[in-house]
Chains A and B, each alone.
Chain A
Protein backbone atom coordinates (compact mmCIF):
# COMPACT_ATOMS: atom_id res chain seq x y z
CA UNK A 1 0.00 0.00 0.00
CA UNK A 2 1.78 3.13 -1.21
CA UNK A 3 1.83 6.22 0.86
CA UNK A 4 3.47 8.57 3.29
CA UNK A 5 3.99 7.65 6.93
CA UNK A 6 4.54 10.33 9.51
CA UNK A 7 5.39 9.31 13.03
CA UNK A 8 4.58 9.80 15.76
CA UNK A 9 1.08 11.23 15.44
CA UNK A 10 1.45 13.18 18.67
CA UNK A 11 4.73 14.36 20.15
CA UNK A 12 5.52 16.22 23.33
CA UNK A 13 8.73 18.09 23.96
CA UNK A 14 10.24 19.77 26.95
CA UNK A 15 11.61 23.24 26.44
CA UNK A 16 15.25 23.18 25.40
CA UNK A 17 15.07 19.76 23.79
CA UNK A 18 15.54 18.88 20.16
CA UNK A 19 13.00 16.51 18.66
CA UNK A 20 12.91 14.68 15.33
CA UNK A 21 9.79 14.04 13.28
CA UNK A 22 9.83 11.13 10.89
CA UNK A 23 8.55 11.08 7.31
CA UNK A 24 8.85 7.93 5.21
CA UNK A 25 7.44 7.34 1.73
CA UNK A 26 7.18 4.37 -0.57
CA UNK A 27 5.80 6.29 -3.54
CA UNK A 28 9.24 6.58 -5.11
CA UNK A 29 8.78 10.35 -5.38
CA UNK A 30 11.85 12.49 -5.84
CA UNK A 31 10.67 15.59 -4.00
CA UNK A 32 9.75 15.81 -0.33
CA UNK A 33 8.52 18.77 1.71
CA UNK A 34 7.90 19.81 5.30
CA UNK A 35 5.14 22.26 6.15
CA UNK A 36 3.96 23.78 9.36
CA UNK A 37 0.21 24.35 9.73
CA UNK A 38 -1.07 26.90 12.24
CA UNK A 39 -4.68 28.04 12.60
CA UNK A 40 -5.43 30.90 10.21
CA UNK A 41 -2.00 30.76 8.60
CA UNK A 42 -2.36 27.89 6.20
CA UNK A 43 0.66 25.81 5.29
CA UNK A 44 4.08 27.39 5.47
CA UNK A 45 7.06 25.71 3.87
CA UNK A 46 9.92 24.83 6.22
CA UNK A 47 12.30 22.82 4.02
CA UNK A 48 12.11 20.90 0.80
CA UNK A 49 14.25 18.41 -1.04
CA UNK A 50 14.14 17.85 -4.78
CA UNK A 51 16.58 14.96 -4.77
CA UNK A 52 18.57 12.77 -2.42
CA UNK A 53 21.43 14.51 -0.59
CA UNK A 54 20.08 17.95 -1.44
CA UNK A 55 17.62 20.21 0.35
CA UNK A 56 16.63 23.87 0.40
CA UNK A 57 15.26 26.25 3.00
CA UNK A 58 11.65 27.27 2.72
CA UNK A 59 9.98 30.37 4.10
CA UNK A 60 10.35 29.54 7.80
CA UNK A 61 13.47 27.39 8.14
CA UNK A 62 14.90 29.07 11.24
CA UNK A 63 15.06 26.66 14.18
CA UNK A 64 14.64 23.58 12.00
CA UNK A 65 17.01 21.16 10.27
CA UNK A 66 16.57 18.28 7.83
CA UNK A 67 18.51 15.54 6.10
CA UNK A 68 17.86 13.53 2.94
CA UNK A 69 20.24 10.60 3.00
CA UNK A 70 17.73 8.23 1.43
CA UNK A 71 15.04 8.81 -1.15
CA UNK A 72 12.42 7.32 1.14
CA UNK A 73 13.15 9.42 4.22
CA UNK A 74 13.12 13.13 5.06
CA UNK A 75 13.29 13.63 8.84
CA UNK A 76 12.72 17.05 10.35
CA UNK A 77 14.46 18.11 13.56
CA UNK A 78 12.87 20.87 15.60
CA UNK A 79 15.70 22.42 17.54
CA UNK A 80 15.65 24.37 20.78
CA UNK A 81 16.25 27.47 18.68
CA UNK A 82 12.68 27.29 17.39
CA UNK A 83 10.88 29.64 19.73
CA UNK A 84 7.32 28.60 18.98
CA UNK A 85 7.40 24.94 17.95
CA UNK A 86 3.87 23.98 18.96
CA UNK A 87 2.13 23.26 15.66
CA UNK A 88 0.87 20.63 13.26
CA UNK A 89 3.62 19.43 10.92
CA UNK A 90 2.85 17.99 7.51
CA UNK A 91 5.15 16.07 5.21
CA UNK A 92 4.44 15.92 1.48
CA UNK A 93 5.96 14.22 -1.52
CA UNK A 94 5.76 14.96 -5.21
CA UNK A 95 6.82 13.55 -8.52
CA UNK A 96 6.87 16.51 -10.87
CA UNK A 97 4.58 17.51 -12.54
CA UNK A 98 1.95 15.69 -10.49
CA UNK A 99 0.41 17.34 -7.41
CA UNK A 100 1.71 16.75 -3.90
CA UNK A 101 0.64 13.89 -1.68
CA UNK A 102 0.37 14.57 2.04
CA UNK A 103 0.95 12.51 5.15
CA UNK A 104 -1.40 12.48 8.14
CA UNK A 105 0.75 14.91 10.11
CA UNK A 106 2.41 15.10 13.51
CA UNK A 107 1.10 17.37 16.23
CA UNK A 108 3.94 18.71 18.36
CA UNK A 109 3.25 20.24 21.76
CA UNK A 110 5.56 21.82 24.34
CA UNK A 111 5.29 20.62 27.92
Chain B
Protein backbone atom coordinates (compact mmCIF):
# COMPACT_ATOMS: atom_id res chain seq x y z
CA UNK B 1 0.00 0.00 0.00
CA UNK B 2 1.16 3.51 -0.71
CA UNK B 3 2.24 5.82 2.09
CA UNK B 4 3.04 9.49 2.41
CA UNK B 5 5.65 10.91 4.78
CA UNK B 6 5.80 14.51 5.89
CA UNK B 7 9.02 14.96 7.78
CA UNK B 8 8.29 18.23 9.52
CA UNK B 9 5.44 17.96 11.98
CA UNK B 10 5.81 21.45 13.43
CA UNK B 11 7.51 24.42 11.81
CA UNK B 12 7.86 27.87 13.33
CA UNK B 13 9.11 30.75 11.20
CA UNK B 14 9.30 34.50 11.28
CA UNK B 15 7.63 36.54 8.57
CA UNK B 16 9.67 36.83 5.36
CA UNK B 17 11.55 33.61 6.06
CA UNK B 18 11.64 30.98 3.34
CA UNK B 19 9.65 27.79 3.70
CA UNK B 20 10.22 24.27 2.51
CA UNK B 21 8.04 21.38 3.67
CA UNK B 22 9.11 17.88 2.78
CA UNK B 23 6.85 15.20 1.34
CA UNK B 24 7.92 11.73 0.23
CA UNK B 25 5.72 8.93 -0.99
CA UNK B 26 6.17 5.23 -1.53
CA UNK B 27 4.65 4.07 -4.79
CA UNK B 28 6.37 3.11 -7.98
CA UNK B 29 3.58 3.67 -10.47
CA UNK B 30 1.76 6.68 -11.82
CA UNK B 31 0.78 9.18 -9.17
CA UNK B 32 -1.10 12.43 -8.89
CA UNK B 33 0.29 14.71 -6.17
CA UNK B 34 -1.39 17.43 -4.14
CA UNK B 35 -0.79 19.88 -1.35
CA UNK B 36 -3.76 21.00 0.72
CA UNK B 37 -3.93 23.73 3.37
CA UNK B 38 -6.24 23.94 6.36
CA UNK B 39 -6.43 27.39 7.93
CA UNK B 40 -7.64 27.51 11.55
CA UNK B 41 -11.35 26.74 11.67
CA UNK B 42 -11.65 26.24 7.93
CA UNK B 43 -11.97 23.30 5.59
CA UNK B 44 -9.16 21.84 3.53
CA UNK B 45 -8.34 23.79 0.40
CA UNK B 46 -6.23 22.79 -2.56
CA UNK B 47 -2.93 24.68 -2.80
CA UNK B 48 -1.55 23.01 -5.91
CA UNK B 49 -1.49 19.77 -7.83
CA UNK B 50 0.73 17.80 -10.16
CA UNK B 51 -0.62 15.39 -12.75
CA UNK B 52 1.99 15.45 -15.51
CA UNK B 53 4.25 17.78 -17.46
CA UNK B 54 6.45 20.45 -15.87
CA UNK B 55 7.57 19.06 -12.50
CA UNK B 56 7.64 22.54 -10.99
CA UNK B 57 4.09 23.54 -10.27
CA UNK B 58 2.82 26.84 -9.01
CA UNK B 59 -0.19 27.18 -6.78
CA UNK B 60 -2.15 29.86 -5.02
CA UNK B 61 -0.71 32.44 -2.62
CA UNK B 62 2.85 32.17 -3.95
CA UNK B 63 3.35 28.50 -3.15
CA UNK B 64 5.14 26.13 -5.47
CA UNK B 65 6.16 22.49 -5.36
CA UNK B 66 8.65 20.39 -7.25
CA UNK B 67 8.06 16.79 -8.23
CA UNK B 68 11.30 14.82 -8.25
CA UNK B 69 10.42 11.36 -9.50
CA UNK B 70 13.79 9.81 -8.69
CA UNK B 71 13.44 10.88 -5.06
CA UNK B 72 9.71 10.14 -4.78
CA UNK B 73 9.36 13.67 -3.42
CA UNK B 74 6.97 16.59 -3.81
CA UNK B 75 8.28 19.34 -1.53
CA UNK B 76 6.34 22.53 -0.96
CA UNK B 77 8.12 25.88 -1.04
CA UNK B 78 7.44 29.55 -0.55
CA UNK B 79 10.21 32.17 -0.75
CA UNK B 80 8.76 34.53 1.86
CA UNK B 81 6.05 33.49 4.30
CA UNK B 82 3.43 35.75 5.83
CA UNK B 83 1.62 35.60 9.14
CA UNK B 84 -1.52 34.58 7.22
CA UNK B 85 0.24 31.38 6.09
CA UNK B 86 -0.19 29.97 9.60
CA UNK B 87 -2.07 26.74 8.95
CA UNK B 88 -1.78 22.99 8.67
CA UNK B 89 -0.42 21.64 5.41
CA UNK B 90 -1.12 18.20 4.03
CA UNK B 91 0.59 16.37 1.23
CA UNK B 92 -1.56 13.83 -0.63
CA UNK B 93 -0.91 11.21 -3.26
CA UNK B 94 -3.43 9.56 -5.56
CA UNK B 95 -2.01 6.20 -6.52
CA UNK B 96 -3.58 3.53 -8.62
CA UNK B 97 -5.12 0.67 -6.65
CA UNK B 98 -7.19 -2.00 -8.36
CA UNK B 99 -8.38 0.22 -11.16
CA UNK B 100 -9.04 3.25 -9.00
CA UNK B 101 -6.97 6.16 -7.79
CA UNK B 102 -7.14 6.24 -4.01
CA UNK B 103 -5.93 9.34 -2.17
CA UNK B 104 -3.54 8.92 0.74
CA UNK B 105 -2.62 11.80 3.01
CA UNK B 106 0.44 12.56 5.06
CA UNK B 107 0.19 13.36 8.76
CA UNK B 108 0.33 17.07 8.15
CA UNK B 109 2.71 19.87 9.07
CA UNK B 110 1.64 22.60 11.42
CA UNK B 111 3.16 25.93 10.37
CA UNK B 112 3.22 28.92 12.70
CA UNK B 113 4.46 32.21 11.33
CA UNK B 114 5.36 34.90 13.83
CA UNK B 115 4.71 38.51 12.75
Contact = CB atoms under 8 A, between A and B. Distances in A.
B44 A102 contact: yes
B105 A43 contact: yes
Given A97-B51, A99-B34, A45 B44 contact: no
Contact of A97 (B42, B90, B101): B101
A100 B103 contact: yes
B29 to A, nearest CB: 15
B100 A50 contact: yes
A85 B6 CA distance: 25
26 contacts: A35-B105, A40-B9, A42-B6, A42-B105, A42-B106, A43-B92, A43-B108, A44-B105, A45-B102, A45-B103, A45-B104, A48-B102, A50-B100, A59-B1, A90-B43, A90-B44, A94-B103, A96-B101, A97-B32, A97-B101, A100-B34, A100-B46, A102-B36, A102-B43, A104-B42, A105-B43
Interface of A: 33, 35, 40-45, 48, 50, 59, 90, 92, 94, 96-97, 99-100, 102-105
Interface of B: 1, 6, 9, 32, 34, 36, 42-46, 49, 51, 90, 92, 100-108
